[in-house]
Amino acid sequence: MLFMLTNRTRPGLSAAQYGELAALAKAFYAAVPPGVTIRGEWAAVDGSHNHSLLEAPDLETVQRLQAPFEPYTETVIAEVKAIEGWVAS
């Protein structure tokens, strides 16, 4: 299943909290769980948010992966599917 995550850093984080967020991100990228594939990532030029396209077995897996980031980010998770023109694949 494919999932699009839109992440916005919560306003007002302290320098220490940014450090904790960075440490969480480094740990995630160093050990992406089996069964999860990062298909692509994009960041807004102004740094306000980013998008990640993940392949994962189910929504619960994605929610579990995102949970440690919850104190630092506001995240929207949407299951998505590829489309070509007006036809869903």
Instruction: Tell me how far apart the alpha carbons of residues 3 and 64 are, in angstroms, rounded to a whole number.
Output: 13
% pLDDT > 70, the chain: 97
Average model confidence (pLDDT) across the chain: 93
Listed in sequence order, the residues at least 6 apart from 22 whose beta carbon sits closer than 8 Å to its beta carbon are none
Q: How confident is the model at residue 80 (pLDDT cuts 50, 70, 90)?
A: very high
Q: How many CA atoms lie within 13 A of 50 on its CB side?
A: 12
State the residue range of the domain holding 7. 2-88
Instruction: Tell me how far apart the alpha carbons of residues 30 and 49 are, in angstroms, rounded to a whole number.
Output: 22
Task: Look up the CATH number of the domain holding residue 8.
Answer: 3.30.70.1060
> Mean pLDDT over residues 19-23, rounded?
94
* Angular region, 28: left φ>0, alpha ψ -120 to 50, beta rest: alpha
Mind listing the pLDDT tens digit for each residue in 34-57? 999 999 999 999 888 999 999 999
Cβ atoms of 75 and 10 within 8 Å: the answer is no
pLDDT of 20 higher than 80: yes
pTM, to two decimals: 0.86
Instruction: Tell me how far apart the alpha carbons of residues 27 and 30 are, in angstroms, rounded to a whole number.
Output: 5
Q: How confident is the model at residue 87 (pLDDT cuts 50, 70, 90)?
A: low
- State how many domains the chain has: 1
